[in-house]
Amino acid sequence: MMKKAAIGFIIFLWITRIASLAFLLLLVAGALVFATGPDEAPDIEKAPWGIQTYTDDVPSRVYYAEDVRLEGNMPIIKGYWSFNGKKFKFNKGEKEFPQSDYSFVQVVDRRIVR
């Protein structure tokens, strides 16, 4: 009788360990998903401008910006989101799009186009 109780207690301990590990794994996975940031484009209110760049007439990158200004034919964005393959990352600085680097740069007001 004592052996059955000991075996039952050992099984109970292993089940408790497995359940605890599964719970910790879920907590870590949830924290990682939360920490990686949004994988969707920012809201139109935060980033009313959309910028699509083309290299050799092939779409290459998409940016979303708080502000856009033109210096000659070169757009300059300020306060922009860029996609790094996994999530959108906010950049506080400015980014220029010189014609020597891109074959075409399209700037769209997202408040108008839906």
Q: What is the CATH number of the domain that holds 62?
A: 2.30.30
The encoded tokens of residue 2 equal 């004592």
Q: 63 and 93 share a domain?
A: yes
Q: 29 and 68 share a domain?
A: no
What pairs with residue 75 in β-bridges? 70
14 φ/ψ angles, rounded to the nearest 5 degrees: -65, -40
The encoded tokens of residue 9 equal 């207690």
Q: pTM (2 decimals)? A: 0.63
Query: How many domains, in total, are found in the chain?
Result: 2
Domain span including residue 81 = 49-109
What pLDDT is stored for residue 10 in this prediction? 87
Q: Tell whether 31 is covered by a domain.
A: yes
pLDDT > 90: percent of the chain: 36
pLDDT above 90: residue 58: no
CA R_g for the chain: 26
